[in-house]
Structure 1
Amino acid sequence: MQAPRIPYTILALAPLAGQLERAWKEAPVVLDRQEPARALATLRPSLYISLPRDLCPAGGLQLTFQRLRDFTPDGLLESQPYLADLAAAGRFLATARRQGMPATEIADGLRRWPDLPPLEPQPPLGQENRPAAPQDADNDTLDRILSMVASGPGDRVAATPGPAGPSFDRILDEILARIFRDPEFRQMEASWQGVRLLAGQGGLNENVHLQLVPATRDTLEETLAGLSSDLDRPLPSLLLVDCPFDSSARSLHLLDALARCGHALLVPALAWIIPPFFLIDSWQEMDRLPFLPHYLATQEFAKWRRLQESEAGRWLGLACNRLLCRFPWGADNRPRRVNLEEKEPPWVAPVWAAACLAGQAMAATGWPTALTDWHRHRITDLGLNMAGTPPLPVEILFSDSRMDQLRRCGIMALATARGRDFVCLGGEPMISADTTFSYQALLSRFTQ
């Protein structure tokens, strides 16, 4: 069958700009596949990180991102002035120690960075009340200042034994650790990693496009209402929502709004769920659940079943099992200029992977179908969770039996193979379970 030359537009609603006071009212930002970072520069996402005043006298940092690199530790040092000043001061103290610079010159040099926290060394134990001899005062001051200069990657120099206290390098390491475990930062970075994934492996070309709309869980309902009522703009071909959902009343209400939006536009919509959807804390607890179709037939999931059985449910697909687009920062992926050990893997929502596979199919055949054909449509060159056994690019390796049960329940799941760095789609049911993404996508193409 001849594929129609109708543009295939993926419209992604995601927390791409941080917290929003109100729903996004402007036109979607069109991603340039040649320069995907231009969309980031257009949106200029920002967020505020609260910090103790001994780390940052201002009490926090307002971070702004204009490049994808700005989400990396080294990129943050280049783009955020306070962090750049900390790094520069650390290098200055390291150089001062190597050159034997007098303490007075060090003090003068540090005045170039007046906004940094003061380093206030304590005298060694047992010498708190002993005044320094005049001839030793200058050297003692220098030793106490430089004893706080930590070592690390690059040009950091080891601290000499002496009084405990912070150094600029250790302050920088602690701030970066707090940034990379901040939930809002992690969510924003994950969404932009998803954009990067689609730009690189989503088949974007002159006929397959990606548009971005900033949205959060709090603004999603209003954003969807605006999409349904705005008839002046061209219709998307696929709706993607990057917000985690469980089986709570609030989540089901938003999923119902998304399904109704897809139904009104006759466009498939994709969202994703987390383990609490099944009333568990992690995917590893799936083993204690009974046969999933029977489990979801219990009274606790009555509202979910009503959504499944609705006419709008045919237009909603739910995915699970997040993926890694990069290795966590740490022993296997060290930043060049700082010490950073991420405690949690930087997971990316599975909806980005599903949309990638739809884009690949469109680019290859002109139809967004056969997403489960992993020989032709899969995502490669992913990070691995080295804490897992075996290391995986996804949260969990579902058994064939569980994968089949998820399909019967109307839930898509990402799949992989042991020891491999690729993912594919283990099934493509919509939540009604009696139809598939491919069928609804074809129906949408014929109606547009």
Structure 2
Amino acid sequence: MSSISIQDKLKQMIPHKPAWEYRLEPSVRITYAAMNHDITQERELPFVIGVMANLSGHVDAPLPSREFVEINRYNFDRVMQRMRPRLDLDVANTLAPNAGTMSIELRFNSLSDFEPQQVASQIEPLRKFFDVRTQLVALLTMVAGNDHLAERLWEIIKNSDPQQKPEEATIDDETKSGLVTAANAADGVYLLDHVIDEATIGRDDGEKKHVRQNISTLMKEVTAGTLLITKDLEATIATRIAEIDRLLSSQLNIVMHTKAFKQLEASWRGLDYLVRQTNTSSRLMIRVLHVSKEELSQDLDKVVSNQSTVFKLVYEKEYATIGGTPYGALIGDYEFGPHPMDMELLEKLSHVAARSHAPFIAAASPSMLNVERFADISSSHDLPQTFRTPDYARWRSFREGDNARYVALTLPHVVMRRPYRPDANLIHFNESITDDSDYLWGNAAYAVGTCLTNAFAKYGWCAAIHGMEGGRLKWPNNPETGLNCPTDLDITADHEIQLANLGFIPLLYRKNTGCIEFYTMQSCQRPKMYDSCVANDNSHRSAQLRYVLTTARFAHYVRLIIAERTGAFQSRVESERLLQDWIERYVASDDTATLDAKAQYPLREAKIQVAEVSRKPGSYQAILFLRPYFQLDAPATLRLVVDLRDAEAYR
């Protein structure tokens, strides 16, 4: 046991460095003695967020061959290229009447590839329309204010138009023949160059070539009958440009509003938000794994759960491996409802999360609240009554289990980008928003993850993750028109309380602030009820995500401390003494201590017991009783079980 008194610990906090050398905020820093070539070094575990999402859009390599990949704002595009997102779509063809459908293949190498111009460039008919539009816009710029050029082009077009009457011609038949073929034939080049020279446009051969191409495009449009000429050439060209814009917008709206496109774009934009809002470093990391919900379900649907790829990646490779970096939390870009398949998957994920002490954070689907859309929930909706029905029996049972403390589901959706407006993109794409379903809605779990990374970057652990201090985020994608808030449900105060009590993390919008906020961070676990008020308070806090996150971090250290010393102990007592001495480095039971002192000693009480696992001779578990109090409303004692029996297997 440690012989250092609380008073001695607090005396050690007397500043011995200039003030400017200290952090602006008190920060927790937990370390353990790691062995490196017979040299002992104090090592701090980084806080690692693991993101699991369907980021490919198509069937990829088998899941067992995939790995979590570290991602940050500097390698984002490289990671995206490595995952090769692709969509194969069959959509209605709106470019011509009764055109049927078109098959398209879209590839995405960067986030900008989801933007309308880049999408259009990958669809051959749209790319051609865009090229025509570009050349007509350039020609319109030349014609504007250049009366001579407009007049000469009018003469050329009028005399080359087969619909014109003979008496309307103003030049001889031989010249007219040359004009008709000017867009395609070499014998028309001289005539076009003559017009260009007369109009004093095109300073060199390169510019003249572009001007000639622009005029040729105009001639092709006239010949094809897609441009109806009038003497007001500017208006004629502008009308055709507007028609092309309409055709492009109509087709792009269909493509970009398909379910597959929206899901893929929302996932990448959600990941981009998390990455760009996180100051990644050697202490704070984000890793991403491409895996669809269906693949995840199939992977975990094994006779022996610890044979699944996800279990091996999260538990075996990091948590149970010497020198590994355990995941502090897992973000799942998935939605879960109350039906059996979703509940079975959630239960299996909770097992992985609890074994690895890495809370799994995902989203609740509208079906979880027995509605088709979150917007269907009225202010008078009785949410508690919905969850009392037989359809929610498995959900209620799940909430009673200890593993539910390691699962959190947030809601509703959050908008991932503003709708495209004609004046804000190069092809003047006008995104059609007929109702709320046309917005790009995404998973709010990315916002929860951002609160976690912000808290760790600032304070060294994840306690300040809710309310105004840690749960409020400036959301950059609040639509400027047509939508009052960036979520698809404006949650009332009553519903916020109800949802939290039902085991969810409600996302609120603070009106007139442009901010979203998590007022509470509740895990799915239903707090157990006792006869004692003190016990009930402790149970309620133990089910909150911030208490789980802060204590789980100590569990990671306990596992690695024992793994580092596999074979070095001859008794359970020695292991227990080592762990107890280590944990007491972070304990100071003085409620009046300064924030700096509490940051250095973030636990008010701590006790670790090492016990042999029943019916498994030689296998041990560490049972932790921790009472964290730095940045927490009130101390609560949490009991954690750390499995030590696999230490030898992963040495």
TM-score normalized with structure 2 length:
0.57
Asked whether the 8 Å contact 1:283–1:396 carries over to 2, the reply is: yes
* Residue aligning to 1:129: none
* Correspondence for 2:77 among 31, 37, 62: 37
* Residue aligning to 1:61: 104
Aligned equivalents of 1:342, 1:247: Cα separation in 2: 33
Look up the SS of the partner of 2:378 in the other structure.
Answer: helix
How far does residue 388 in structure 1 lie from its aligned partner after superposition? 5.6
* Residue aligning to 2:477: 383
Asked whether the 8 Å contact 2:331–2:449 carries over to 1, the reply is: yes
Aligned equivalents of 2:388, 2:130: Cα separation in 1: 57
Aligned equivalents of 1:140, 1:187: Cα separation in 2: 38
Look up the SS of the partner of 1:212 in the other structure.
Answer: strand
* 2:407 counterpart of 1:316: yes
How far does residue 35 in structure 1 lie from its aligned partner after superposition? 3.5
* Residue aligning to 2:238: 158
Q: Compared with structure 1, are the counterparts of its residues 289 and 299 closer, same or farther at alpha carbon in structure 2 (3 Å cutoff)?
A: farther
How far does residue 83 in structure 1 lie from its aligned partner after superposition? 4.2
Aligned equivalents of 2:82, 2:374: Cα separation in 1: 37
How far does residue 59 in structure 1 lie from its aligned partner after superposition? 3.0
Aligned equivalents of 1:270, 1:375: Cα separation in 2: 20
* Residue aligning to 2:448: 354
Q: Aligned partner of 1:271: which letter?
A: A
Q: Compared with structure 1, are the counterparts of its residues 284 and 47 closer, same or farther at alpha carbon in structure 2 (3 Å cutoff)?
A: closer
How far does residue 431 in structure 1 lie from its aligned partner after superposition? 0.5
Larger helix proportion of the pair: 2
* 2:501 counterpart of 1:408: yes
* 2:86 counterpart of 1:46: yes
How far does residue 342 in structure 1 lie from its aligned partner after superposition? 3.7
Alignment of 1:25-424 (within 5 A): 25-52=65-92, 55=95, 59-77=102-120, 83-92=126-135, 99=153, 102-106=179-183, 142=223, 144-147=225-228, 157-159=237-239, 169-223=245-299, 225-230=308-313, 231-233=316-318, 234=324, 235-287=326-378, 290-330=381-421, 334-343=424-433, 344-385=438-479, 391-424=484-517
Q: Compared with structure 1, are the counterparts of its residues 278 and 144 closer, same or farther at alpha carbon in structure 2 (3 Å cutoff)?
A: same
Asked whether the 8 Å contact 2:400–2:525 carries over to 1, the reply is: yes
* 2:29 counterpart of 1:3: yes
Deviations along 1:228-286, one digit per CA (max 9) or x if unpaired, are 13413443221111122222222222222221221222210011012221111233332
- Larger gyration radius, structure 1 or structure 2: 2
How far does residue 79 in structure 1 lie from its aligned partner after superposition? 6.1
Aligned equivalents of 2:367, 2:67: Cα separation in 1: 34
Bigger CA drift: 172-181 or 284-293? Answer: 284-293
Asked whether the 8 Å contact 1:20–1:216 carries over to 2, the reply is: no
Aligned equivalents of 1:335, 1:159: Cα separation in 2: 19
Q: Aligned partner of 2:105: which letter?
A: Q
Q: Compared with structure 1, are the counterparts of its residues 402 and 81 closer, same or farther at alpha carbon in structure 2 (3 Å cutoff)?
A: same
Aligned equivalents of 1:160, 1:371: Cα separation in 2: 54
Q: Compared with structure 1, are the counterparts of its residues 54 and 279 closer, same or farther at alpha carbon in structure 2 (3 Å cutoff)?
A: closer
Q: Compared with structure 1, are the counterparts of its residues 37 and 374 closer, same or farther at alpha carbon in structure 2 (3 Å cutoff)?
A: farther
Aligned equivalents of 1:300, 1:160: Cα separation in 2: 57
How far does residue 395 in structure 1 lie from its aligned partner after superposition? 1.8
Look up the SS of the partner of 2:293 in the other structure.
Answer: coil
Asked whether the 8 Å contact 1:378–1:422 carries over to 2, the reply is: yes
How far does residue 23 in structure 1 lie from its aligned partner after superposition? 4.8
Q: Compared with structure 1, are the counterparts of its residues 250 and 388 closer, same or farther at alpha carbon in structure 2 (3 Å cutoff)?
A: farther
How far does residue 287 in structure 1 lie from its aligned partner after superposition? 2.5
Q: Compared with structure 1, are the counterparts of its residues 192 and 314 closer, same or farther at alpha carbon in structure 2 (3 Å cutoff)?
A: same
Aligned equivalents of 1:188, 1:108: Cα separation in 2: 46
Aligned equivalents of 1:145, 1:238: Cα separation in 2: 58
Q: Compared with structure 1, are the counterparts of its residues 61 and 266 closer, same or farther at alpha carbon in structure 2 (3 Å cutoff)?
A: same
Deviations along 1:93-139, one digit per CA (max 9) or x if unpaired, are 66678655645344679xxxxxxxxxxxxxxxxxxxxxxxxxxxx99
Aligned equivalents of 2:374, 2:62: Cα separation in 1: 32
* Residue aligning to 1:120: none
Deviations along 1:183-216, one digit per CA (max 9) or x if unpaired, are 1111111111111111121343331111111122
How far does residue 319 in structure 1 lie from its aligned partner after superposition? 0.3
Q: Compared with structure 1, are the counterparts of its residues 141 and 267 closer, same or farther at alpha carbon in structure 2 (3 Å cutoff)?
A: closer
* Correspondence for 1:447 among 549, 555, 574: 555
Q: Compared with structure 1, are the counterparts of its residues 196 and 157 closer, same or farther at alpha carbon in structure 2 (3 Å cutoff)?
A: farther
Aligned equivalents of 1:228, 1:139: Cα separation in 2: 62
Asked which structure has the greater RCO (Cα within 8 Å, sep 6+), the reply is 1
Asked whether the 8 Å contact 1:10–1:240 carries over to 2, the reply is: yes
Look up the SS of the partner of 1:412 in the other structure.
Answer: strand
Aligned equivalents of 2:554, 2:399: Cα separation in 1: 24
Q: Compared with structure 1, are the counterparts of its residues 139 and 399 closer, same or farther at alpha carbon in structure 2 (3 Å cutoff)?
A: closer
Q: Compared with structure 1, are the counterparts of its residues 263 and 157 closer, same or farther at alpha carbon in structure 2 (3 Å cutoff)?
A: farther
Aligned equivalents of 1:269, 1:407: Cα separation in 2: 17
Q: Compared with structure 1, are the counterparts of its residues 395 and 346 closer, same or farther at alpha carbon in structure 2 (3 Å cutoff)?
A: same
Q: Compared with structure 1, are the counterparts of its residues 330 and 33 closer, same or farther at alpha carbon in structure 2 (3 Å cutoff)?
A: closer
Look up the SS of the partner of 1:194 in the other structure.
Answer: helix
Bigger CA drift: 253-262 or 411-420? Answer: 253-262
Size of the alignment, in residue pairs? 409
Look up the SS of the partner of 1:287 in the other structure.
Answer: coil
* Residue aligning to 2:533: none
Q: Compared with structure 1, are the counterparts of its residues 195 and 284 closer, same or farther at alpha carbon in structure 2 (3 Å cutoff)?
A: closer
* Residue aligning to 2:172: none
Deviations along 1:295-333, one digit per CA (max 9) or x if unpaired, are 3122221111111112221111010022223211136x7
Q: Aligned partner of 1:269: which letter?
A: F
How far does residue 438 in structure 1 lie from its aligned partner after superposition? 1.0
Aligned equivalents of 2:346, 2:249: Cα separation in 1: 40
How far does residue 64 in structure 1 lie from its aligned partner after superposition? 0.5
Q: Compared with structure 1, are the counterparts of its residues 8 and 81 closer, same or farther at alpha carbon in structure 2 (3 Å cutoff)?
A: farther
How far does residue 405 in structure 1 lie from its aligned partner after superposition? 0.8
Percent of aligned pairs with the same amino acid: 19
Deviations along 1:142-179, one digit per CA (max 9) or x if unpaired, are 3723239xxxxxx9933369xxxx97554433331122
The runs of 5 or more residues in structure 2 that have no matched partner are 1-26, 31-43, 144-152, 158-178, 187-218, 230-234, 301-307, 319-323, 528-542, 557-651
How far does residue 58 in structure 1 lie from its aligned partner after superposition? 9.3
Aligned equivalents of 2:371, 2:448: Cα separation in 1: 24
Asked whether the 8 Å contact 1:322–1:349 carries over to 2, the reply is: yes
Q: Aligned partner of 1:414: which letter?
A: L
Q: Aligned partner of 1:208: which letter?
A: L
Asked whether the 8 Å contact 2:370–2:386 carries over to 1, the reply is: no
Bigger CA drift: 288-297 or 232-241? Answer: 288-297
